[in-house]
A and B are shown apart, each in its own frame.
Chain A
């Protein structure tokens, strides 16, 4: 399958630095980090806990400012020295770590919310479209339910539908499947791959699960321990569409091992740094 279907959604992170300054104590979370993500690519981000992955995502999404460096989306400046905080917009949709469907709206109302407030569709048109899109994602008969009434897997799929209805350039996912059992996770993966094969939307996906990273990604960016920068990029040349047989292929295992080694090295460094801080 060719990636040229999608010519939008290229992210360029150039020499990005982020320093948090709580109580006057500088915490450098990201240090001079550069990463190019092509339009329509699935880029997986892995790295030790607390290294700065979420910080990177927040910079792209516009949830907070960056200290130095620039981020571009399709050659358009999102944030940089002249504009430290990117504007939040529906071109970059975030799927949150703990899920952020509005619990007081039904799944259909949640999905319809974006087009409605943007004034793209009237309320009933938006609800109708939401119904179609939920049905497409296999959630047709739970559209009238509230997020608290469906399983976490369904809620997460609905959240992705809520993002996709806005036709975003980029999907930003922060460990969306972290707390799920492996069976649910595999259903989630299938659903996400199905969405990707259909839309070819650029995906920026943070995870701790290396098998997930290789299975889903075109590339896996391994980050160093804090302050984070890119340590290594693993290219995943396994052809799409991928299925569960991929998981047992030799190539897959080799890539997982390669990634594991690099992450392990950083994890040890992070651990030792923690020991030093405590000493």
Chain B
């Protein structure tokens, strides 16, 4: 890049593919990718040595990394489950669909609920005690109730996953509204805003950073409670797969299930973060200027 290219009054930010390429190039110049690679190698190495290398006594019932990866990538798996068998995807798809539904409901209800609680003092006074009493009850304690209330396998599982992430989303949204500086409300009011202007121009965008922090936690919580629920009552899904393979002493499949869960969970929180960044360009750019 020559100096003269930088002189135009307005420098356009690269977009689309160019931006992705640029981001990759920049990232490769930092330590991060190398440290990450090294970190993964370290963990895999330790795992390999404990289980398959030194065959330490505590680990001798576990399948080692080589065994797991071989099975995972095996078109004709020894224990019936790999990237090449349709049943594997059945479990993944069932769990992902359940997450989509529960996280969707939790967000659709929790965000508006939290916004209203933050916006209207009266509404908050009505609802806050209920929220604060129900929130600390661990999700497993809801299992019997869910089974009593809903029939079948699907609804109780979705209910449990929804409930857990609903609390997180609502509370974070509420805190998000609280976090908005009073001066913004004063300025908006002085500038002539009506109530609905304040809601849509101040409350909603002002709470967004907290909302998305909340959504990232809440998608994790949704996975957590989904798997717990699937383990207790379920016919399909990754939680079910893990317990089922444990019962059937197919430990390799169990570890495959666990790792799959790790990757899908990670992917879902990356998606939430990407959506958040898209919706909060203002924040992204300000943070970028601070070098973060």
Q: Which of A's residues lie within 8 Å of B, judged by CB?
A: 61-63, 88-90, 92-94, 96, 98, 100, 102-106, 113-114, 117-118, 141, 145-149, 162, 166
Asked if residues B289 and A149 are in contact (CB atoms below 8 Å), the reply is: yes
Q: Provide the residues of chain B in CB contact with A141, threshold 8 Å.
A: 9-10
Cα distance, A113 to B287, chains bound together (Å): 24
Within 8 A of A (CB), among B277-292: 280-283, 285-287, 289
Chain A residue numbers with a CB within 8 Å of B286 are: 103, 146-149
CA distance A63 to B283 in the complex (A): 28
Interface hits, B240-292 → A, CB 8 Å: 280-283, 285-287, 289
Of the candidate stretches B18-26, B124-132, B184-192, the one touching chain A is B184-192
Beyond A102-B201, A103-B286, whether A93 also contacts B9 by CB under 8 A is: no
Tell me whether B197 is interfacial, beta carbon within 8 Å: yes
Given that A100-B183, A104-B208, A113-B201 are known contacts, is A146 also in contact with B190, CB under 8 Å in the complex? no
How far does the alpha carbon of A141 sit from the alpha carbon of B205 in the complex, in Å? 25
Q: Are B192 and A93 in contact (CB under 8 A)?
A: no
Q: Which residues 108-157 of B have a CB within 8 angstroms of A? A: none
Q: Contact check, B280 vs A117: say whether CB atoms are below 8 A apart.
A: no
Judge whether B183 and A146 touch: CB under 8 Å: no
Judged by a CB distance under 8 angstroms, whether B101 is at the interface is no
Q: In the assembled complex, which residues on chain B have CB atoms less than 8 Å from the CB atom of A90?
A: 190-192
Residue of A nearest to B186 (CB): A63
Tell me the nearest residue of chain A to B206, going by C-beta: A104
B232 close to chain A: CB less than 8 A: no
Judged by a CB distance under 8 angstroms, whether B202 is at the interface is yes
Given pairs A89-B192, A94-B190, 11 additional interface contacts (CB within 8 A):
A100-B187, A102-B184, A104-B208, A104-B283, A105-B205, A105-B282, A106-B282, A113-B188, A118-B191, A118-B192, A148-B287
Interface centre among A98, A103, A104, A117 (most CB of B within 10 A): A104
Contact between B192 and A166, CB atoms less than 8 A apart: yes
Name 6 A/B residue pairs within 8 A (Cβ), A-sorted: A100-B181, A102-B184, A102-B205, A103-B283, A106-B282, A117-B197
**A104, B183: Cβ atoms closer than 8 Å:** no
In the complex, the answer to whether B187 meets A96 with C-beta atoms within 8 Å is yes
A85 to chain B, nearest CB (A): 12
The reply to whether B187 and A117 form a contact with Cβ atoms under 8 Å apart is: no
What is the number of residues of chain B that contact chain A, defined by CB distance less than 8 Å?
28
Q: A61-B190, A88-B186, A90-B191 are in contact. Are A102 and B202 (CB under 8 A)?
A: yes
Inter-subunit contact B191/A166 (CB<8 Å): yes
B183 & A148 in contact (Cβ 8 Å cutoff): no
A23 to B283 CA separation, bound complex (whole angstroms) = 38
Which among B10, B187, B281, B283 is the interface contact of A94 at CB below 8 angstroms?
B187
Chain A residue nearest in CB terms to B281: A146
Q: A102-B202, A104-B208, A141-B10 are in contact. Are A93 and B190 (CB under 8 A)?
A: yes
The distance in angstroms between the C-alpha atoms of A104 and B188, with both chains bound, is: 13
Residues of B contacting A88 with CB < 8 Å? 186, 189-190
How far, in whole Å, are A88 and B190 apart by their CA atoms in the complex?
5
> Are the C-beta atoms of A96 and B183 separated by less than 8 Å?
yes
Q: 8 Å CB contacts to A: which residues of B195-239?
A: 197, 201-202, 205-206, 208
The 4 lowest CB-CB distance pairs between A and B, nearest first, are A148-B286, A104-B205, A118-B192, A100-B183
Which residues 51-109 of B have a CB within 8 angstroms of A? none
Q: Which of B189, B202, B282 contacts A146 (CB 8 A)?
A: B282
Residue of B with least CB distance to A149: B285
Judging by beta carbons under 8 Å apart, are A100 and B189 in contact? no
Q: Closest A residue to B194 by CB, please name it.
A: A117
Q: How far is the CB of B62 from chain A (nearest CB, A)?
A: 49
Min CB–CB distance B123 → chain A (angstroms): 23
